[in-house]
Structure 1
Amino acid sequence: MMLFELFTPDRTLETGEADRLARRLVDLVGGHTTTVRAIVHQPAGWAAGRSDAGDGRQWLVRISMPDSWRRAMPDDSLIADVTTALGELEDDPDRVLREPAVWVQFVDVPEGGFGTFGTALGIDRLADLATGKLEVTADGDIQAPAAAADIVRDPICGMSVDLSRTKLTLEINGTTYGFCARGCRDTFAADRTAEASS
């Protein structure tokens, strides 16, 4: 489970912008998994200490995910992706890179800290649900779906990736690799470049 919570002062977003922004955040991590959620909050109360963020929009993004997923994430790619996505809403998209208008906080959720179907899910079962290795039947049971030929394992984090539903791929020596997020793809590509140069 990955949960994006975006906070911005009341009446910051125009009609429909909150829904588009929530969808954009989900799409940052592939958008194909059933375990990613995005919620946009616009609280009436908003205060900050001294701010150098000028008169533009202010954003706080909290990203909750299993701590093992966070440890496997390369560098700060998701922070950059979120910041860029919020900049797309600005008249001056680079403002969010010059001023402290976007603050991103990660919340590492411990093993068993997420649950659904009335039970806590361990990281393996959560990953299987997220990647389609498990699905929910009409009766509410969890089972393995029919085998899919286009499922590959992300070589960085180990998640299963449906090649027919992602654009995050690399082809190397005739082998197609699929990735759950841009950061995993970038790390894999950097590792291959380093191997080739040594």
Structure 2
Amino acid sequence: MILIELFAPPGALGAAQREWLARRMIDLLMASDQPDDSHAPEVLEAAQSLTQVLVHEPTTWVVGGQQPVDPADPPRYVVRVSTPAAWRKEMSGHVIEVLTQALAEAEKAAGRDPDRLLHEPHAWIHVTGVTEGSLGALGRPMGSLDLIRHLTAPHRDAIARRSAANLPPGHVVDPVCGMTVDLNTTGLTLEHDGTVHGFCDGQCLRIFAEDHGVSLEENRRGGVVQ
């Protein structure tokens, strides 16, 4: 679950602009520039459904050491992104890049200079990690593994049927999230029923092992789990 909170000065964005910008942030966040590095469409759709954007317009906005913010000045932005702590480090670079891009597109559409966001600190992106067990849904706390299970469980069958015919040699599909994995570079593989599976991260590997009753320790002794 990802929560994006956008803070903008009152009047900086009209209602239609706020709606467009919120949806644009989600679209860019879920997109990938590398086709071989994307999750299965079913998983992305589920992730989108758990991503929410709230737009705030604080009535008081003070910048230290400066005069009060003038409504006539180009707006400043603050974006706070809350995500499970286990995902924060890996996500931060991508999140900061694409959310800044979305803000720049909104600035350009409003007739303002979008490049100022890259030359002046007028858009701050705060990516914060929520401690394990501090997110809750369905009436109970949910850790990062629980969230991954929730995101992928309804789509496992579709992912399992995903054709590997067009994959480059040495590549496989992560059986949990549907991400394309290069067996030559991944450090996460596991053997089950005579097949070596590759995983995008340790959480997907753990979920697969638990769901299929595979002992990670035995696979390590056999030299399969890396």
Is 1:95 the counterpart of 2:104? The answer is no
Of 36, 41, 48, the match for 2:56: 41
> How do residues 97-176 of structure 1 correspond to structure 2 at under 5 angstroms?
97-129=118-150, 131-133=151-153, 145=154, 147-150=156-159, 172-173=168-169, 175=171
Partners of 2:76 and 2:117 in 1: CA distance? 9
Is 1:78 the counterpart of 2:74? The answer is no
Q: Would you say the 8 A contact 2:4–2:52 is kept in 1? A: yes
How has the CA–CA distance of structure 1 residues 66 and 21 changed in structure 2, closer, same or farther, with 3 Å as cutoff?
same
Q: Would you say the 8 A contact 2:29–2:99 is kept in 1? A: no
How has the CA–CA distance of structure 1 residues 19 and 176 changed in structure 2, closer, same or farther, with 3 Å as cutoff?
farther
How has the CA–CA distance of structure 1 residues 99 and 42 changed in structure 2, closer, same or farther, with 3 Å as cutoff?
same
Partners of 1:151 and 1:29 in 2: CA distance? 25
Where does residue 4 of structure 1 map in the other structure? Answer: 4
The one-letter code matched in structure 1 to 2:134 is G
Q: How many residues align?
A: 156
TM-score (norm 2): 0.58
The one-letter code matched in structure 2 to 1:149 is A
Aligned-pair identity in percent equals: 33
SS at match of 1:132: helix
Post-superposition CA distance 1:9-49 (Å, at most 9, x none): 11110131111111112223326212211111111111111
Q: What RMSD, in angstroms, separates the aligned Cα atoms of the two structures? A: 3.4
The one-letter code matched in structure 2 to 1:40 is V
CA-CA distance at 1:93 after TM superposition: 1.8
CA-CA distance at 1:174 after TM superposition: 7.7
SS at match of 1:80: helix
TM-score (norm 1): 0.66
The runs of at least 4 consecutive aligned structure 1 residues that moved more than 4 Å come to 174-178
Structure with greater Cα Rg: 2
SS at match of 2:133: coil
CA-CA distance at 1:176 after TM superposition: 7.0
Post-superposition CA distance 1:157-198 (Å, at most 9, x none): xxxxx99xxxxxx954384768x9xxx99xx89x96xxxxxx
The one-letter code matched in structure 1 to 2:25 is L
CA-CA distance at 1:77 after TM superposition: 2.5
The one-letter code matched in structure 2 to 1:148 is D
Where does residue 59 of structure 1 map in the other structure? Answer: 77
